[in-house]
Amino acid sequence: MKNKDLSRDERDDAVDALVASQSSSNIKTAYQKFKMEREDVESQNAQKISDIAKTLSSDAEEVFTELTDTLQDKSLTNDEIKTKVESIEHGVSDKSTLKEVMAAVHKVFSSVAVKKTTTENTIFLK
């Protein structure tokens, strides 16, 4: 679902309703598998975030936590996330801290985008 005005929670609810209205059990099964995989990835990310945060300087850890909390906030729209991330980035005066934080964020979220895209494509291509 590509509506930019919806939060991730709202998009998930809309997709849940759409899938529930489908008669195909294959679609419903694939969607349930996708949701379980996404929950597993989110759980793994929580552990990664915790592990990575421990390796950062105290200034970087604070910014990293704020960024990862924002990126995982399902109640925000994509535009709200973008605005908050930009605000957080602009609030960091030490650019070496920002570089450290962004490298850490990339370690957590770059693999998610690939896996999520692959899984979503699998669901919608069947």
Distance CA 18, CA 20 (A): 5
Distance from C-alpha of 64 to C-alpha of 99, rounded to nearest angstrom: 11
DSSP bridge pairs for 7: 77
pTM for the whole thing?
A: 0.75
* Residue that the structure tokens 């989110």 belong to: 42
CA distance 9 to 19: 15
Q: What is the pLDDT of residues 6-45, one digit of tens each?
A: 999 999 999 999 999 988 899 999 999 999 998 998 898 8
The predicted-structure confidence for 60-109, as pLDDT tens digits, reads as follows 999 999 999 999 999 999 899 999 999 999 999 999 999 999 999 888 87
Rounded Cα distance between 125 and 34, Å, is 13
**pLDDT attached to residue 88:** 93
Residues 72 and 61 sit within 8 Å (Cβ to Cβ)? no
